[in-house]
Structure 1
Amino acid sequence: MIDVTIDNFEQEVIAASMDQPVLVDFWAPWCGPCKALGPILEKLEVDYAGAFKLVKINSDDEQQLAGAFGIRSIPTVILLKEGRPVDGFTGALPEGKVREFLDKHVQALDGEPEEAEVPPVEEPGAADPQAQLEKLQHAVATDPANDDARFDYVKALLLGGRLDDARRAFEPVASKTGLSRRIDALSRWLDALSFQGNAAELETKIVANKRDFQARFDKARLLIGKQQWTAAMDELLEILMRDKAWSEDLARKTYIAILEIIEPPRPKVAEGQIPPDDPTVATYRRRLSSVVLS
């Protein structure tokens, strides 16, 4: 376990994550749940025998780093691979739940490596997807003007691979894409699923010309179609860093659409408290702000 500050962050976190996953624990001395979670993380670092590196960041002392990751509550734990956040959680989870989290991304002593990509967003009630889908379908049928229910319904259909059903459910609100950010997000997702492109050809074009923004955008659309959300946003950021207004702000609008899609439902909290942001969503919002405002 290593204490990280702004001075050694690049070396101990970003550079280190190129070789092995780095688990970043944002904590503070006054935080009771942090004191419960910390020993669990330290124990698991030993148990996993070098499968990941644990670092701790005091969010009080390192407010610049906490702000960069969009930390809203502590403890917050974020896993980085190859310099990028790939997953995270908030709160003092029990050891078993932390192991489940780690096993998705790192190789334990007798485990197998997993993909780094953030998994598709799950809906509430995912233990019984069909029951949840029927509930959403009923909500739309009962109140066709409820765009939030329709968003959840179309999103659930798309996550389940039911493209034709999703198109039919989306059709009644297709004219609202300019009025609703969530409806616009669904429209862009459906567009990406319709796009036919050759990934190898697009990559060749990008290698030959880093400013081939159409090739980068088309690559992002292919990634959206595969629900590889963070990879798609990374590609869109490459456009924004070079030309913020390209094609009438198309890259930024698509990036925002992805954030709408992957934003999970906010957990219920006690009155007066602010529900924590999803770590991945918060990080990528921060990245967008940094690029657009630079």
Structure 2
Amino acid sequence: MINVTAANFETEVIQASMTTFVLVDFWAPWCGPCKVIGPMLEKLETEYAGRFKLVKIDSDQEQQLSQAFGIRSIPTCVLLHNGQPVDGFMGALPEGEIKAFLDKHLPAVEELESIEEEAEALDALAEGDVEGALAKLQLAVETDGENDDARFDLVKLLLQLDRDDDAKVAFAPVIAKSLAVRRLDSLNRWMQARDAQATVVNPEARAAELQAAITANKRDFEARYNLASMLWANNQFVPAMDELLEILMRDKSWNDELARKTYIAILDVIDPPKPKVAEGQVPPEDPTVATYRRRLSSVVLS
């Protein structure tokens, strides 16, 4: 529990709420109900073990903050996240009702643990510890099967390690969801391209055949798309997008916009995980991804 004033409000409340829920307890020393609910909130903060942060504001001493939140009576509690009020309640509610209020908004323990494992995995990957990252991502998905970001990173890493069978097993629980979630659909398209490539008996001869067909007819979109798929399957992402751009420059709508959809899928696959930033800020974008997004926009909008 932290006592907040105007001097530390920005740090202890607004900035803190960017990474966790913050419960603000507006109270005063003379307020009887405040003396009842205060210890209860402190107990719950300990019990919830990091799922929210409790801060207290003396309404008499910090009248400007009280006015900013429109406090009309005390005790009043306001829950903030991402710098904004989410919900609140007035009065010394029973412990059970406060728990119900918190549980309505706070992430579950499993979700928090999964997010933490995912973050540690990305740190390990940045440090070159591939096996450590793989173990962390697997644990993140096991802890919270609804963590699609962790599952995306897990399947992507398995594919990069040429462990396609393991990737399919990890992806299986979200196959149906992939029809509605673009990033998951992009992974599915990559796996399908890899499966198709695995059936090619002589990849070098096939690539030469496709290149010859393109040289003879630059509008042989079927050959150009098949070449792009081969390149994508072999992790040659930039050359694959270059081939798809050639199709888009000549016929944007070819084959129900297959070239555009595949191009976007490749961008999704190669786009590295973004670091978490404060609301309103834009995370840095990978230079290759940024360049090829601009090229796609230039072609599609021309």
**In the alignment, is the contact (CA less than 8 A) between 1:137 and 1:153 conserved in 2?**
yes
Q: Secondary structure at the match of 2:243?
A: helix
Q: State how far apart, in whole Å, the 1-side matches of 2:186 and 2:280 are.
A: 30
Question: 1:129-168, aligned counterparts within 5 Å?
Answer: 129-168=130-169
Question: 1:157-196, aligned counterparts within 5 Å?
Answer: 157-195=158-196, 196=200
Aligned length: 173
- Closer/same/farther in 2, CA of residues 183 and 269 from structure 1, 3 Å limit: closer
1:145 deviates by 2.1
User: Does residue 276 of structure 2 align to residue 262 of structure 1?
Assistant: no
2:219 to 211, 214, 219: 211
Q: State how far apart, in whole Å, the 1-side matches of 2:217 and 2:297 are.
A: 26
Matched residue, 1:58: none
1:224 deviates by 0.7
Q: CA RMSD in A?
A: 1.8
Q: In proportion to residue count, which structure has more helix?
A: 2
1:143 deviates by 1.4
User: Does residue 250 of structure 2 align to residue 242 of structure 1?
Assistant: yes
CA offsets 1:148-184 (integer angstroms, 9 cap, x no match)? 1111110010011101101111112112232011111
CA offsets 1:173-230 (integer angstroms, 9 cap, x no match)? 1122320111111011001101236111111111111111111111011111111111
CA offsets 1:81-106 (integer angstroms, 9 cap, x no match)? xxxxxxxxxxxxxxxxxxxxxxxxxx
Question: 1:96-115, aligned counterparts within 5 Å?
Answer: none
Q: Percentage identity across aligned positions?
A: 61
Alignment-mate amino acid for residue 207 of structure 2: A
- Closer/same/farther in 2, CA of residues 267 and 141 from structure 1, 3 Å limit: closer
Matched residue, 1:276: 284
CA offsets 1:214-264 (integer angstroms, 9 cap, x no match)? 111110111111111111100000011111011111110000001111111
Q: Secondary structure at the match of 1:151?
A: helix
Alignment-mate amino acid for residue 296 of structure 2: L
Q: Secondary structure at the match of 2:285?
A: coil
Alignment-mate amino acid for residue 216 of structure 1: R
Which structure has more relative contact order (CA 8 Å, sep 6+)? It is: 1
Q: State how far apart, in whole Å, the 2-side matches of 1:171 and 1:218 are.
A: 26
Question: 1:21-60, aligned counterparts within 5 Å?
Answer: none
Alignment-mate amino acid for residue 157 of structure 1: L
Alignment-mate amino acid for residue 145 of structure 2: P
1:271 deviates by 6.8
1:141 deviates by 1.2
1:288 deviates by 0.3
**In the alignment, is the contact (CA less than 8 A) between 1:123 and 1:156 conserved in 2?**
no
Alignment-mate amino acid for residue 224 of structure 1: W
Larger radius of gyration: 2
**In the alignment, is the contact (CA less than 8 A) between 1:262 and 1:281 conserved in 2?**
yes
Q: Secondary structure at the match of 1:200?
A: helix
- Closer/same/farther in 2, CA of residues 192 and 136 from structure 1, 3 Å limit: same
Q: State how far apart, in whole Å, the 2-side matches of 1:271 and 1:244 are.
A: 35
**In the alignment, is the contact (CA less than 8 A) between 1:202 and 1:219 conserved in 2?**
yes
TM-score normalized by the length of structure 2: 0.54
- Closer/same/farther in 2, CA of residues 149 and 271 from structure 1, 3 Å limit: closer
Alignment-mate amino acid for residue 258 of structure 1: I
2:231 to 209, 217, 223: 223
Alignment-mate amino acid for residue 162 of structure 1: R
Q: Secondary structure at the match of 2:179?
A: coil
**In the alignment, is the contact (CA less than 8 A) between 1:125 and 1:132 conserved in 2?**
yes
1:266 deviates by 2.0
**In the alignment, is the contact (CA less than 8 A) between 1:217 and 1:235 conserved in 2?**
yes
